[in-house]
């Protein structure tokens, strides 16, 4: 047996706007330089990926990525400094929550 903890950020209307999916998507963009390629890797449509990122940007009030429209040399995306800093903070917060959840689980269930 194990307990599963999910970390989600929600707005004032209790609508989720950020969690592991957008986090992984944005880290993929950081790695590959392409939202489209990362979305495909994750089995997600580009439209859905863009919607997830745009929604998170709207809720948080800053841009996660800068986008260059394709053309002769192709397009791409990269993280903004503010986006990268937010992802780093999210990662630290998530990891701290998971460690504390594990501690509490062992306290109650002793496994």
Q: pTM of the prediction?
A: 0.88
Q: How far is Cα 50 from Cα 39, in angstroms, rounded to an integer?
A: 9
Mean pLDDT of 12-23: 97
pLDDT computed for residue 102 by the predictor: 92
pLDDT computed for residue 74 by the predictor: 66
Contact assessment for residue 64 and residue 17, using Cβ atoms and an 8 Å cutoff: no
Angle between the 20-32 and 81-109 helix axes, to the nearest 10 degrees? 140
Q: pLDDT tens digits, residue range 99-110?
A: 999 999 999 998
Q: pLDDT tens digits, residue range 18-38?
A: 999 999 999 999 999 999 999
Residue matched to tokens 């496994």: 111
pLDDT computed for residue 30 by the predictor: 96
H helix or E strand, kind and range, residue 67: strand 65-68
Under the banding of pLDDT at 50, 70 and 90, the label for residue 2 is confident
Q: pLDDT tens digits, residue range 42-78?
A: 999 999 999 999 999 999 999 999 987 765 566 788 9
| Alpha helix positions (H), 1-111 | 20-32, 35-41, 46-60, 81-109
């Amino acid at each position: 047996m194990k307990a599963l903890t999910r970390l989600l950020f929600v707005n004032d209307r209790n609508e989720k706007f950020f969690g592991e999916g957008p986090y992984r998507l944005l880290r993929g963009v950081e790695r590959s330089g392409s939202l489209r390629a990362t979305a495909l890797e994750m089995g997600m449509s580009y439209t859905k990926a863009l919607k997830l990122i745009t929604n998170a940007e709207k809720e948080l009030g800053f841009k996660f990525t800068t986008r260059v429209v394709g053309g002769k040399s192709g397009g791409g995306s990269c993280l903004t400094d503010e986006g990268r800093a937010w992802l780093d903070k999210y990662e630290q917060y998530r990891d701290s929550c998971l460690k504390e959840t594990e501690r509490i689980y062992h306290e109650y269930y002793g496994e």
